[in-house]
Amino acid sequence: MKQNQKEQRVEQLVKQHVRDIPDFPKPGIVFKDITPLLSDPNVFRSIIEVFASRYKGEKLSAIVGIESRGFLFGAALAHSLGIAFVPIRKKGKLPYETIEVSYDLEYGSAVVEMHTDALCKGDRVVIIDDLLATGGTAEAACKLVKKSGGHIHECAFVIELAFLDGRKNILDAASFAIASYS
């Protein structure tokens, strides 16, 4: 989908404010540090406005945020849209009854959870995170939403590392990213 002018302007702002950290967390990785864009309230507000504009009128039930940076954008977006925010967390971090999904990482595996009562059958949601890389965590989040009976309207990201082709791992869900790195 072609970006509108506001999305193009915000993509430029994101790319201007994201800081590359070479060899973090391990050699050969270039980490995309979002803290500079979080420290600029105008940039952060612009990001939330792009997402809110995209999802306004979509009859969503909730925004589902992936731990931990997805919480930052997800809670603000849910507030902006006047809908619920649902956290997906690493195993053992949620206090109530949970459903869980395990997924593979580059070296090993991980488990994410969501409260059993977080979504109802038929709830329409957007899953949000700061960055789409290989898509493993986003895919696990999609599985949790589907396991709970929810419907994924779209997966949303501030940044996509398109060269890692993570979109192919997101179950039958559409995805959108404000800024893409090829």
Q: Residue 127 belongs to a domain with what CATH number?
A: 3.40.50.2020
3-class DSSP state of 81: helix
The residues carrying an active-site annotation are: 69, 106
> 56: buried, middle or exposed (CB in 10 Å: 19+, 13-18, 0-12)?
exposed
In whole angstroms, what is the distance from residue 31 CA to residue 34 CA? Answer: 9
Entry pTM: 0.95
* CA dist 165 → 35, 36, 161 (Å): 24, 26, 7
Q: Residue 68's domain spans which residues?
A: 5-181
Confidence (pLDDT) at 105? 77
- Number of structural domains found in the chain: 1
The answer to whether residues 126 and 55 touch, using CB atoms and an 8 Å cutoff, is yes
Q: Which H helix or E strand runs over 171? A: none
Cis peptide before 41 (omega within 30 of 0): no
User: Across-strand partners of 163?
Assistant: none
DSSP 23-64: T-SSTT-EEEE-HHHHT-HHHHHHHHHHHHHHHTTS---EEE
pLDDT tens digit at each of 182 positions of the chain: 567 899 999 999 999 999 999 999 899 999 999 999 999 999 999 999 999 999 999 999 999 999 999 999 999 999 999 999 999 999 999 999 999 999 987 777 999 999 999 999 999 999 999 999 999 999 999 999 999 999 999 999 999 999 999 999 997 899 999 999 99
